[in-house]
Amino acid sequence: MAGMQIELQRSEYDSGKLNRADLKASPFEQFATWFEQACQGNVIEPNAMSLATAGTDGRPLVRTVLLKSYDTRGFVFFTNLESRKARHIKENPNASLLFPWLALQRQVIINGRVEKVSTAESLAYFITRPRGSQIGAWISRQSSIITSRQLLEMQWAEMQRKFSEGEVPLPSWWGGYRVVPREIEFWQGRVNRLHDRFLYTVREDGAWAIERLAP
């Protein structure tokens, strides 16, 4: 480990730039432009985003989830409604998202409040999931301690038999959350670590202010 010289691991960020004149007035339009470029570029899982939450104890926890939809209302992901992240959100409905599009030397950071999406919206997405993933939602009590993987696979097989015919119903403990942004930051790496950073902040009238941040 000592020979790895982690302190010398670095890359020069020289693949692009971000000018104020090029930004869209709406952060959602700007996100759509960058997300499309991430999908077309050499980015693995462009909809993968880090989700940071904290409960009443103030101890933060971060994990990767998948963005499944977005519009001017916010950014939506789906999960077990009895998981640790769900408990955090119930205790403290504030969260931060990070899209680490490192192949493009870009990041997008979103801070906002979290709200549940409707059951209808959760069902509309659930029925698009692969059948195996639908069954998996029924047997995974996310974040709870289990004794072995064998038990998990046995439960999956049992549930597969139970739902061998017809559609797999939506579990009552599974659904979606929407992060409604207060701030959205667009970060573009630049040479000499003089990165371009622009912060969109929502004003009381619903319009978005745009400010450049120091790198």
DSSP classification of residue 132 = H
Residue 1: pLDDT over 60: no
| Catalytic residue set | 193
Tokens of 87: 């408990």
- Residue labelled with tokens 């692009």: 16
Distance CA 69, CA 77 (A): 7
Distance CA 167, CA 158 (A): 16
**Percent of the chain scored above 90 by pLDDT?**
84
Residue 24: pLDDT over 70: yes
| pTM, to two decimals | 0.93
pLDDT category at 142 given cuts 50, 70, 90 is: confident
Residue 44: pLDDT over 70: yes
- Residue labelled with tokens 């009590």: 141
Which domains, from first to last, does the chain contain? Answer: 14-128+173-213 (2.30.110.10)
φ/ψ of residue 135, rounded to 5: -65, -40
Question: What's the pLDDT tens digit per position in 149-188?
Answer: 998 899 989 999 999 988 999 999 999 999 999 999 999 9
The beta-strand segments (E) located in 22-147 are 48-54, 60-66, 69-71, 74-80, 94-101, 106-116
Average pLDDT, the chain: 94
| 200 vs 156, higher pLDDT | 200
